[in-house]
Amino acid sequence: MKKNDNDLNLLPHYFKKIGFAILGLVGVTIASILIFHIPVDKVWTKTITQTGILLSLLIIAISKNKVEDELTLLLRLKALSGSFIAIIVIVIIDPYLNYIFQGEIGKGIIDFRIIITMFIMYFLFYYIAKFGR
């Protein structure tokens, strides 16, 4: 495939492995802390864990597939737009659901949950479109 101005500037394919390695490292670290009852500062642990998860998912999302063509670029675009729309709907509905189930309008979804949900929706829409073609 020739490089033209319409292509996305994606990371090389091997960055997917780096993203999965970071995700695995975060998982192993958290499992070790829980299994061996290692005393840690909860605020720092939560912050570092969330950063590691978001960084790994971002790297995976913006890395090329082994075969990257116009169809996969279109699938990426559809998955990104679908996840963006889903997040907007969730952000709009969430305060009302809090009111219905908790009796008060809360502040809604916090930033980490919004971003992680967006990544989950992106991957969900992308792989459904990819394997459903």
Cα–Cα distances in angstroms (integers) from residue 23 to residues 1, 32, 49, 83, 88, in the given order: 31, 14, 9, 21, 26
Same domain, 114 and 88: yes
> Domain count of the chain?
2
Same domain, 76 and 112: yes
Q: Which domain holds residue 18?
A: 1-66
pLDDT per residue, tens digit, the chain (133 aa), is 455 545 678 999 999 999 999 999 999 999 999 999 989 999 999 999 999 999 999 999 999 999 888 888 899 889 988 888 888 888 788 888 888 888 777 666 667 788 888 888 889 988 888 888 7
pLDDT at 68: 87
**Residue type present at position 49:** T
Same domain, 98 and 57: no
pLDDT at 5: 44
